[in-house]
Amino acid sequence: MSFFDKHVFFCTHQREDGSDCCNNHGAQKARDYVKNKVKELGISTRHNNIRINSAGCMDRCDEGPVIVVYPEGTWYTYVDESDLDEIIEEHLKNGRVVERLKI
């Protein structure tokens, strides 16, 4: 059994040569938004332990920006905060995969 009920990794990689990468699409800002939103909503508690982390390159730049949610291993892409809100509400809070954002 995993220590965390949900462990969310945001690719926040920034390529030095300026080529396309998740951080060119605001990945760090998105990660901070989700971390704050999860805390604000109070959905990461002793009984529902959700961890939001940054990760280096996850090698899916052509589908980015990307996040992966464990223990399910569900990969998502997103465009804006409304996509992130949907992932928070549906997957992190209610355990339902958001099919339209899944990659």
CA atoms lying within 13 Å on the CB side of residue 77: 12
| Counted domains in the chain | 1
Q: What is the CATH number of the domain that holds 65?
A: 3.40.30.10
Q: Please indicate, yes or no, if residue 24 is contained in any of the structural domains.
A: yes
Measured between alpha carbons, how far is 78 from 34 in angstroms, rounded to an integer?
12
Measured between alpha carbons, how far is 89 from 80 in angstroms, rounded to an integer?
15
Residue 100 has pLDDT above 70, yes or no: yes
Q: What is the pLDDT of residue 1?
A: 56
Q: Please indicate, yes or no, if residue 1 is contained in any of the structural domains.
A: no
State which residues form the domain around 58: 6-101
pTM of the model: 0.91
Q: Please indicate, yes or no, if residue 76 is contained in any of the structural domains.
A: yes
Question: Which residue matches tokens 């605001």?
Answer: 26
Q: What percent of the chain has pLDDT over 70?
A: 96
Question: Which of 77, 47, 73, 49 has the alpha carbon at shortest distance from 61?
Answer: 77
